[in-house]
Amino acid sequence: MKLDPYLIYQGQAEEAIAFYGAALGLEHGEINRYKDSPMPHTAAQKNWIIHCELLDQGRCIAMVADTTEVNSGNQIQLSLNYKAVDLEKMKIAFDQLAEGGKITQPLEKQFWNATFGQLIDRFGIHWMMNCNHETT
């Protein structure tokens, strides 16, 4: 079984895809829009995204869509876990995701031998980022 988080927006999905692509070095799969589907929508919603996958080296790590009913909050928290060799990569991604958002827990070394931090990005999505340190 594989868990794919689904990120839901209200007309901002395309902007979010570009933002996460730049911040995390992701690509995206095919973008399916309301105008190309039988889903009911208004003229203003025709270019909204009905489905798109965010890809890391060809592997889906999340799916993205627009809908008219969005509840911002912490209902979904996404956890990104990095290997020790990627600590600097995680720090860069953390800073980029925090742009326009709010850091709720700065990246700091934790008692479980990892660097960990939390933030809410500019779209209201809650992120946890963890990088385990090598043990000697």
- Chosen domain end from 17, 43, 66: 66
Q: Is residue 120 part of a domain?
A: yes
Whether residue 10 is found in the same domain as residue 62:
yes
Q: Is residue 46 part of a domain?
A: yes
- Chosen domain end from 66, 95, 114: 66
Statement: residue 57 has pLDDT above 80: yes
Whether residue 109 is found in the same domain as residue 62:
no
Render pLDDT for 104-122 as a digit per residue (tens, 0 to 9).
999 999 988 999 999 999 9
How many CB atoms neighbour CB 120 within 10 A?
A: 19
> Residue 19: which pLDDT band, with cuts at 50, 70 and 90?
very high
CATH number at residue 122: 3.10.180.10
CA 66 to chain centre: 14
The arithmetic mean of pLDDT across residues 51-76, rounded, is 83
Distance between CA atoms of residues 37 and 98, nearest Å: 34
Instruction: Work out the angle at residue 78's Cα, subtended by the Cα atoms of residues 99 and 80, and round it to the nearest 5 degrees.
Output: 80
Q: Is residue 1 part of a domain?
A: no
Q: What residue numbers bound the domain in which 58 lies? A: 6-66
- Chosen domain end from 32, 47, 66: 66
Counted domains in the chain: 2
Q: Is residue 109 part of a domain?
A: yes
Helix orientation angle between 13-24 and 87-98, rounded to the nearest 10 degrees: 150
Question: What would the two tokens of residue 70 be?
Answer: 């969005």
Question: What per-residue confidence (pLDDT) applies to 1?
Answer: 44
Whether residue 62 is found in the same domain as residue 10:
yes
Statement: residue 126 has pLDDT above 90: no
Question: What per-residue confidence (pLDDT) applies to 3?
Answer: 59
In the chain, pLDDT over 90 holds for what percent of residues?
Answer: 69
Q: Is residue 72 part of a domain?
A: no
The arithmetic mean of pLDDT across residues 1-25, rounded, is 88
Whether residue 117 is found in the same domain as residue 95:
yes
pTM score of the predicted model: 0.74
Alpha helices in the chain (DSSP H): 13-24, 87-98
Whether residue 89 is found in the same domain as residue 121:
yes
